[in-house]
Every structure is written in structure tokens, then in C-alpha cells.
Amino acid sequence: MKVIFLDFDGVLNTDDWDPVCNADTFSAEWLAQHLNPRLVSRVATVADATGAVVVLSTSWRTAFPLCDLEQIVSWAGWNAPIIGATPQMNRQPRDYEIHVWLKRSGVTSYVILDDDEMTDDELRRRQVLCDSTRGLEEWQVDEAVEILNG
Ligand SMILES: [Mg+2]
């Protein structure tokens, strides 16, 4: 199983992303407008090209249940194969939460899409580091596919 560990802020949106929020506050539709569909479609391309599934590492997972997050990403234009989320560990870095998830069997390959650099060497080699002013860029789609297929 190939896995994409997915952050939202700085990957699926940018610092200056200014959504036109015309839906009910805190509805899935309203939240989805905080994601940029163009950037969401790039992650979809990575998943389609590799058959990878998605594990959410975004802090959004601490605020909304998984079914809502699926709905939000769907509203942003992608019926993502989300299979879970990393555990929430009190005051532990995201690296640690990803390591805990990886202890499950069956992961053959993974990539981390995040705008915060991993501190762990092993994880950093599998990270596509996004710039929060640009989100996941076109050329980084190929980088992510290479990491997953490599
Ligand atoms: Mg982020």
C-alpha cells in the first residue's frame, strides 16, 4: 500500500488564498472554499498516477471528524481515497505521529506533503516540502510520484 500523508494548510491552500465564502459558516462547503481546487487536483493526480491512498496529517483532523474532512475535500473537487489520519499525540511533533502510523504493516511506500519540514532524516527524504505561499506546485507532482514509485 502506497500512502500520501497530507497536510492541508500551505499544501492545498496558500497564505494569501482568499476564498469567496458564500456558504453557511462551518458547513463542509464553506470549509472546502478554504482549499484551492487547483492544488487539490494536483494531489489527486499524484494519487491517480500511483494508486496511493491518503492519510491525513493536517491539523484539521483535530477539529473535524474524518467523514467531514472527506466531504470537505470532495467539495473541493476530489473524492479522495482517505483511509485514516495520523494519531494525535500530545505535544509531539508531526514526525512522531507519522512514525506511529507507519508502524502499521502494509505500507510499501509513502510520501509526505507538508509545508513544515520534517525534523527526522528518514521522513525528510520522503517529503515534498511545499512553500506555503505557493502550495503544492506542478513540478512537485512529479517529485511526489517519483518518491512513491521509487
Ligand atoms: Mg501546513
User: What is the edge-to-edge ordering of all strands in the sheet holding 2-6?
Assistant: 82-85, 53-56, 2-6, 109-114, 127-129
CA distance 91 to 128: 24
**Distance from the alpha carbon of residue 58 to the mean position of ligand 1, in angstroms:** 7
Q: How far is the CA of 104 from the centre of ligand 1 (A)?
A: 24
Cα(22) to ligand 1 centroid in Å equals: 24
Full-model pTM: 0.94
Query: What average pLDDT does this structure show over 131-144?
Result: 97
* Ligand 1 geometric centre to CA of 13 (Å): 9
pLDDT tens string 54-63: 999 999 999 9
Q: What percent of the chain has pLDDT over 70?
A: 98
CATH number for the segment(s) 2-149? 3.40.50
- Distance CA(41)–CA(45), nearest Å, equals 6
The amino acid sitting at 95 is D
Task: Report how far residue 147's alpha carbon sits from residue 44's, in angstroms, rounded to the nearest whole number.
Answer: 15
Mean pLDDT of the chain: 93
